[in-house]
Structure formats: structure tokens, C-alpha cells
A and B are shown apart, each in its own frame.
Chain A
Amino acid sequence: MERRRFLKDCAVIGATSVAFGTGLLTSGMAFATESDPFQTTSVDAVLAALGVDSPKVSDQIKITAPKVAENGASVPVAITSMLKGTTEIITVVAQNPKPLAARNRFGKGAIPWVSSRIKMGETTDVIALVKSDDGYSMAKTKVKVTVGGCGG
């Protein structure tokens, strides 16, 4: 797993440097793509782009997802937060090409519960990141995918 990730990172760095070399990217553009959490390619990068520093694991966040998903193209996931003052629930799929799936913001009068369907490329963790009165908290659950849903 470590090796795979290393290779992936190498590929990203390689691609970026090539882009720099050919003058396709200006430094300003590179910065813009880096800071957009939706364009990042790893969980750590998503957290960094969102400005989240090591969120604590909370048992007040519940993720309802199947243990085994037959079709990775459509995995039903519901997330609820019992934390006080929840304003945001962020859904992250750890091994997807673009891990950040959704950033859900709750306004006045909304119940912090959201249910939708996500794509999953392979068996991996679904991470729920919740912004509440205590800052960022997280919970995760593993979903086994038998048929992937990214690309083809």
C-alpha cells in the first residue's frame, strides 16, 4: 500500500514538473489548483487544503453505509452528526482519484443529516469530516467494493 502511494505521488510530481518545464502552468495557476480541495488527490492533501489539522475521532458521528457494496458506481451513504453546532459535513472517499466527494453545509433549521450516493473506485474508507462548535471531528468506516465505479 505504501509503495503504491509513493508511486502515485511520484507520478503527480512528475506530471507537474513536466507541466512547469513546458510552460503550461504558471506558478500562480499551480497554486490555485493546489489550494482547491476538490482538485486534490489524497486524503492528507484534502485536509491540508481545507485547513484541517489532525481532526479528532468522534463517536458522535454516524456513517450509515453498506459493509459490502456490489456496485461501486452507486454506494448509498448517510451521515449524521450529534455534535453541537454542526455546520458542515464533508464526505471523503479515501482511495478515489479525487477523494473529496461532497461538502455539505447546513443552514439555520437544518438537521445535520445527509444521505446520498457516492462512487467508489475500490475497497476503501469513507471518511466523514464534521465541522461543529469543537472544530473538526471525523469518523470513518470501511466499505468493500466488488465492482469499481470510477473510470472503465
Chain B
Amino acid sequence: MNQPSIKMRVKEKDGAIWLRALIKHPMETGLRKDKETGSTIPPHYISDVLVESNGETVFSADWSTSISKNPFLSIKFYGSKGDTVKLTWKDNMGNSDFVEKTVGKK
């Protein structure tokens, strides 16, 4: 992918890491109809999200179509500067992407 699908920020404050991520994804519900053809647009959504810090899972989520388009996610976990944080997503059509960042570095 040329354009990264994830924008992620990790910030350390008082021993905790605050992660904010914006993922670019259509999150189709499968209920919408194409206005021109009248056919139903098939569901296309992120089903799995995983956050790892230094290789250990700190957060994982199963999502459904009830999550907004271009999902935003924010979580907090204990950690310190220099930790490597990795966020991975997978959707129901087999696409996936990840981003990896070191806390305290731009």
C-alpha cells in the first residue's frame, strides 16, 4: 500500500502510554444499497484489531459493522519511553495492515 491506512500516535505520560489511532476503512454494513444499480453493497469491515507493546498483546478487539467508517481507537496501557508499539488490523475480506512506532520518537 502506498498510502498508510493507519495514523497512530503514542504518547507517554506518568508511566502510561496513550495510544490514538485513526484507520482508513469504509466499514460497509452490508445494508446499504447502491443508488444506481439498486444492488446491496456487500459488508466490508475490520473484524480484528491487535495492539502489541514490545511483542506482548496489551489489547485486542473484535469489531462489527456497528463501528464507524474510518474508525478511531484510543486506549491506554502502562509502559515507558522507548517501548515499541504495534497496531495491526484485519478485515473480513482478508486485507490487513499494521504500523509500528517507538514511544517518544517522532
Interface of A toward B, CB cutoff 8 Å: 38, 73-76, 78, 91, 93, 96-111, 113-119, 149-152
Contacts and interface: CB of A to CB of B under 8 A. Distances in A.
B78 A99 contact: no
Nearest to A78: B74
B36 interface: no
Interface residues of B, number: 30
Given A102-B61, A150-B31, A114 B66 contact: no
B66 A98 contact: yes
A117 B71 contact: yes
Contacts of A100: 64, 66
Contact of B60 (A38, A107, A152): A107
A143 B90 CA distance: 29
A98 B32 contact: no
A152 B33 CA distance: 7
A81 to B, nearest CB: 12
